[in-house]
A and B are shown apart, each in its own frame.
Chain A
Amino acid sequence: MTDSLRATDPGPVPTATSPWRLRVAMLREFWHGFRQNRGALVGLAVLVILVLVAIFAPLIAPHDPIVQYRDAFLSPPAWAVGGRPEFLLGTDPLGRDMLSRLMFGARYSLAIGTFVVTLALTGGVALGLLAGYVGGWVDAVTMRTMDVILAFPSILLALVLVTVLGPGLLNAMIAIAVVLLPHFSRLTRAAVRVEKDREYVTASRVAGSGHLRQMLVTILPNCLAPLIVQATLSFSNAILDAAALGFLTVGAQPPTPEWGTMLADAREFISRAWWVVTFPGIAILVTVFAINLVGDGLRDALDPRLKRS
């Protein structure tokens, strides 16, 4: 009996205490939850395609995004009357290929989202950790500052910050990060205040861990779920806000093929060339929609309490 058991033994018995295996199990559980949400899977697929397009834009784009074809100003999409096959989605007022610009635009939008979220997340989490962990006046000053930032309509504050810093994509991204930062710091602070008095934190303190270790190693990992969801939301907000600033001509500057900036350039041709207005907007909408679908799925999978259905 014992022998037959031993014969089929696949090796060491996996234990729940092995951290690596635990992590794999958690990831599997998460994926199981995420997979339930069909919308989230669609969003993820679209997002993967967008990332691939962004990475391989120089290889797959049919034209250089800033080369102007002097013989093809405002050429309609290939299938429309007067369209040319080499410009699948038509050309813009300066004779640049729309499709290529849109493909390169994906690079900007995804980079904007990544940069802004990284900045806002790092800053917000650091401030929130500090406020929640230290408490007292540090907490009061930090949180009141966040209240002030939240009192301004986001685009207005971003506009004012860009006015101070000067127009341009980098400054626009910094401004948007500042505007999005309070959401992260509030979430982190709230979570830290709940976790701080839990027994495992006391235990780790008794075991002799310092403040920095307490904050970053003991408490922070247990506050991650809402932060991941917020990061996804902020990612889509960052793309929208950056496009809005581009549209208001203070974001990315021409000839950058950023989608919002492309819309700003296209605005005066709205009655003559529908394609220069339509396609960049669809690109923004599809990207943001896909990210929000993933965000909904993440929220449902990571935090059953927040589950919508």
Chain B
Amino acid sequence: MLRFLFSRLALIVPTFFGITLVAFIFPRILRGDPVLLLAGERGVSPERYAQLQHQFGFDRPLLVQYLEYVWRLLHGDLGQSIATKNPVLHDFAALFPATLELSLFAILFAVILGIPAGILAAVRRGSIFDQLAMSTALAGYSMPIFWWGLLLVIVFSNTLHWTPIDSRIDVMFYFPTVTGFMTVDALLSGQPGAFGSALSHLILPTIVLGTIPLAVIARQTRSAMLEVLSEDYVRTARAKGLPPRRVIGLHALRNAMVPVVTTIGLQVGVLLTGAILTEYIFSWPGIGKWMLDSISERDYPVVQGGLVLIAGLVMLVNITVDVLYGLIDPRIRHA
């Protein structure tokens, strides 16, 4: 058990160094001198140029620069944003709750619809519902979500005027940030209508971000259920005369959920990719939009720091899922 745990945790180290290496190399292979880019259109004097070079450490050997970079990272120093002058970590912490809130809603949406749909499709295999649900799931999986978002805006915001178009809440509401979750903060503020406003702003982004995970979860649940339903112990349970509800809900579902839970865990990377596009469409002030803006504004410290934080997050979640899976299922552990 411990050996399994350590073997998985040991993978973190090289991956972490790989991630930092990517973030470290990125601004150094860009076309153009980063110092001149920083200086902007006015340019700099040769003295100031040398001074800046020294300040950023560009005049030292690459290996030294890299080690220093990692050293600072490990001490929580991810540099400073050129645009906001804030430490990158500070901006990340301020914007991350918006992405997290949206992602949680999206995964909830996907699980609540996807698991029942998958179970029903498996139980009624070959039925019209099964065929319809699985075709819809494959269509959802094939969805260009940036277009899906625009389409929903056309229908529900521009035509029907049911939902707002962008941002997290109406501008008329203002209250202090407590948790960073707009829905929770709105409730805490006690302002009438604030919670409803926050929720209505979440609807379309949640659907857009949740579509692909929904499709993946529905498909995965169906195939896991089908596999389990053909097992001997399910046949035994049926032969014993247990009601179908109990056979499916208790005997089959529990075992079928193991791969499904793993799938849900592995959606984090997908969610973050989706969040970039979703936040772009709905002007959602989260880390996806933050990264996009920083890339287009050439705010390289932010891009660097964001890369490390986001990739680190994905890596940690994946390894946690992996370890948990190993804990639940001994076959994985000893493979």
A residues engaging B (CB < 8 A)? 39, 140, 144-145, 147-148, 150-156, 159-160, 163-164, 166, 236, 240, 243-244, 247-248, 260, 263, 267, 270-271, 274, 277-278, 280-281, 284-285, 288-289, 291-293, 296, 308-309
Known: A147-B15, A284-B144, A308-B223. 4 other contacts (CB 8 A): A151-B269, A153-B273, A244-B146, A267-B150
Q: Are A263 and B223 in contact (CB under 8 A)?
A: no
CB distance from A308 to the nearest CB of B (A): 5
- At the interface, yes or no: B24 with Cβ under 8 Å from chain A? no
Which of B83-91, B135-143, B169-177 lies on the face that meets chain A? B135-143
Would B291 and A156 count as touching, CB distance under 8 A?
yes
Residue from the list A164, A278, A288 in contact with B29, Cβ < 8 A: A164
Q: B115 in the interface, Cβ–Cβ < 8 Å? A: no
Instruction: Collect the chain A residues with CB atoms within 8 Å of residue B291's CB.
Output: 156, 159
Q: Mark B21-44, 1 if CB is under 8 A from A, else 0.
A: 110001001110000000000000
B259 to chain A minimum Cβ distance, whole angstroms, is 13
A278: chain B residues within 8 A (beta carbon):
151, 154
- Known contacts A147-B15, A152-B314: A271-B138 contact under CB 8 Å: no
- Please tell me if the beta carbons of B138 and A156 are within 8 angstroms of each other in the complex: no
Residues in A neighbouring B272, C-beta threshold 8 A: 153, 156
Minimum distance in angstroms from B226 CB to a CB of chain A: 6
Instruction: Identify which of A243, A285, A296 gathers the most chain B CB atoms within 10 Å of its CB.
Output: A285
Interface CB pairs A-B, < 8 A, 26? A39-B138, A144-B14, A147-B11, A147-B14, A148-B311, A151-B19, A151-B314, A151-B318, A153-B269, A153-B314, A159-B292, A160-B307, A163-B30, A164-B31, A244-B277, A247-B146, A248-B292, A260-B144, A270-B154, A280-B147, A281-B148, A281-B150, A284-B144, A289-B142, A291-B142, A309-B125
A289 to B142 alpha-carbon distance, docked (Å): 5
Annotate B255-280 by CB proximity to A: 1 below 8 A, 0 otherwise.
00000000000000110110011001
By the criterion CB–CB under 8 Å, are B273 and A147 in contact? no
Q: Given A240-B144, A289-B138, A308-B223, A153–B15 Cβ distance below 8 Å?
A: no
Instruction: Assess the B310–A152 pair: CB atoms within 8 A.
Output: yes
B276 in contact with A153 (CB, 8 Å): yes
Q: Does B222 contact A (CB under 8 A)?
A: yes
- Chain B residue, CB-CB nearest to A239: B144
B140-173: which residues lie under 8 A (CB-CB) from chain A? 141-144, 146-148, 150-151, 153-154, 158
Min distance, Cβ A305 to any Cβ of chain B, angstroms: 11
Report chain B residues within 8 Å CB of A166.
31
B138 touching A292 by the CB < 8 A rule? yes
| Most central of B22, B126, B153, B270 by chain A CB within 10 Å | B22
Residues of A within 8 A of B270 (CB): 153
For B226, list chain A residues within 8 Å (CB): 308-309
With A277-B151, A285-B139, A308-B222 given, is the CB distance from A156 to B276 under 8 Å?
Answer: yes
* A263-B15 contact given A152-B307, A152-B310, A244-B277, CB 8 Å threshold: no
Instruction: Name the distance in Å between A190's Cβ and chain B's nearest Cβ.
Output: 12
